[in-house]
């Protein structure tokens, strides 16, 4: 009799645990639908309503408690955003940053603020290069750091719009890298582009960023950097649809690396590889005068080496 009682008691506990797990799973699935509604400001009221529903229906679950917290944060964000129409364009960044302090991972808000960071950086980076303005360089770097810090806390999902923003962050890093390149700050440019590559999702953006990373790696100047630079350029060119301009640039970078490797080693195969790469570069883009000039020098060097033999 005692054994039967214990068995029934145990089965009831197991049934209760199974029920709790089932409710938690249901709440999690509903929570994901709430997050889908966070993709735009227009669907914010529906997201708030969904989290309120989850918090009420699954109050006894961990996800239900999370939904309640999310409901409160988005409700406060909605109150802030109701004033958006009265905010000037010049003040949008500060306004969105204030809202973000309430809800740091609201996707629709991150997209808007990320766009402001990107656009401001783009304009400032161009003027920085033209005017050789160090304060503008510092301003662009500050925008990048804010962008990176903001998105580093976001949990990206395997969805098209999330992937698009991962690629946008990579684009932003290349833009900053190119500005730093104009000031010959190659080490810092490499660090920024490498960080951008950590975000990137699409092969097109990854390939293009690797072309620039290859150049900045080459500029570090050590033998191991030359080898790594060649590898990065080849990885970029493995992407079938890499634009001709970037492919020519990648071949040029490979040629530069082999030139320096030959200078260090005197190995004829390095010279031949450099000539081969530079040939490809000028065939793709005849306007690459620096590549064409280096190609002529290497050909003369090869002729000299042949005479010496």
Question: Which helix (H) or strand (E) is 146 found in, with range?
Answer: helix 134-151
Question: Which helix (H) or strand (E) is 75 found in, with range?
Answer: helix 62-81
Asked if residue 229 is part of any domain, the answer here is yes
Asked if residue 9 is part of any domain, the answer here is no
Q: In terms of domains, do 183 and 235 share one?
A: no
Total length of the chain:
309
**Integer distance in angstroms from the first to the last C-alpha of the chain?**
102
Closest CA to 295 of 267, 276, 308: 276
Alpha-carbon distance of 23 to 62, in angstroms, equals 10
Q: In terms of domains, do 112 and 166 share one?
A: yes
The DSSP letter of residue 86 is: G
Asked if residue 262 is part of any domain, the answer here is yes
Alpha-carbon distance of 243 to 210, in angstroms, equals 13
Asked if residue 10 is part of any domain, the answer here is no
CB-based burial, 130-155: b 16+ in 10 Å, e otherwise: eeeeeebbebbbebbebbbebbeebe
pLDDT at 5: 43
Alpha-carbon distance of 143 to 124, in angstroms, equals 10
Count CB-CB contacts under 10 A for residue 32. 10
Determine the structural domain holding residue 74 and report its residue range. 24-82
| 3-class secondary-structure state, position 309 | coil
Q: In terms of domains, do 44 and 77 share one?
A: yes
Q: In terms of domains, do 212 and 184 share one?
A: no
CB proximity list for 37: less than 8 A, separation 6 or greater: 43, 44, 46, 47, 50
Q: pLDDT tens digits for 70-101? A: 999 999 999 999 999 999 999 999 999 999 99
pLDDT, averaged per 10 consecutive residues of the chain (309 residues), comes to 46 47 91 94 97 95 95 97 93 96 97 97 96 96 98 94 97 98 97 98 97 98 97 98 97 98 94 98 97 96 71
CATH (domain of 290): 1.25.40.10
Closest CA to 265 of 274, 252, 253: 274
| 3-class secondary-structure state, position 152 | coil
Q: Sign of the CA dihedral 117, 123, 126, 130?
A: negative
Of 146, 168, 201, which residue is a domain's last? Answer: 201
- Structurally, the chain folds into a number of domains equal to 3
CA 189 to chain centre: 14
Count CB-CB contacts under 10 A for residue 39. 17
pLDDT at 6: 43
The pTM assigned to this predicted structure is 0.89
Q: In terms of domains, do 78 and 89 share one?
A: no
Asked if residue 19 is part of any domain, the answer here is no
State residue 212 phi and psi, 5-degree precision.
Answer: -70, -40
Asked if residue 217 is part of any domain, the answer here is yes
pLDDT at 19: 57
């Amino acid at each position: 009799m005692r054994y039967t009682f214990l068995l029934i008691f145990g089965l009831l506990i197991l049934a209760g645990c199974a029920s709790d797990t089932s409710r938690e799973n249901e709440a999690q699935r509903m929570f994901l639908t709430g997050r889908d509604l966070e993709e735009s400001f227009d669907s914010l009221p529906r997201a708030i309503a969904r989290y309120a529903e989850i918090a009420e229906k699954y109050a006894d679950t961990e996800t239900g408690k999370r939904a309640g917290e999310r409901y409160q944060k988005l409700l406060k964000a909605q109150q802030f955003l109701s004033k958006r129409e009265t905010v000037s364009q010049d003040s949008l960044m500060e306004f969105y940053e204030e809202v973000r302090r309430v809800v740091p991972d609201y996707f629709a808000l991150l997209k808007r603020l990320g766009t402001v960071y990107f656009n401001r950086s783009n304009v400032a980076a161009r003027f920085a290069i033209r005017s050789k303005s160090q304060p503008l360089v510092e301003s662009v770097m500050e925008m990048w750091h804010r962008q990176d810090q903001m998105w580093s806390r976001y949990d990206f999902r395997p969805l098209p719009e999330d992937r698009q923003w991962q690629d946008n962050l990579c684009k932003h890093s290349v833009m900053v890298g190119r500005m730093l390149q104009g000031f010959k700050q190659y080490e810092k440019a490499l660090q920024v582009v490498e960080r951008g590559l950590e975000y990137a999702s699409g092969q097109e953006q990854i390939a293009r960023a690797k072309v620039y990373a290859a150049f900045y790696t080459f500029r570090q100047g050590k033998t191991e950097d030359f080898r790594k630079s060649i590898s990065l350029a080849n990885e970029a060119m493995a992407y079938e649809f890499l634009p001709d301009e970037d492919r020519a640039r990648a071949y040029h970078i490979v040629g530069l690396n082999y030139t320096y490797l030959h200078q260090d080693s005197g190995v004829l195969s390095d010279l031949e590889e450099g000539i081969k790469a530079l040939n490809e570069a000028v065939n793709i883009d005849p306007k690459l005068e620096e590549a064409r000039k280096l190609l002529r020098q290497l050909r003369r060097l090869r002729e000299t080496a042949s005479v010496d033999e």
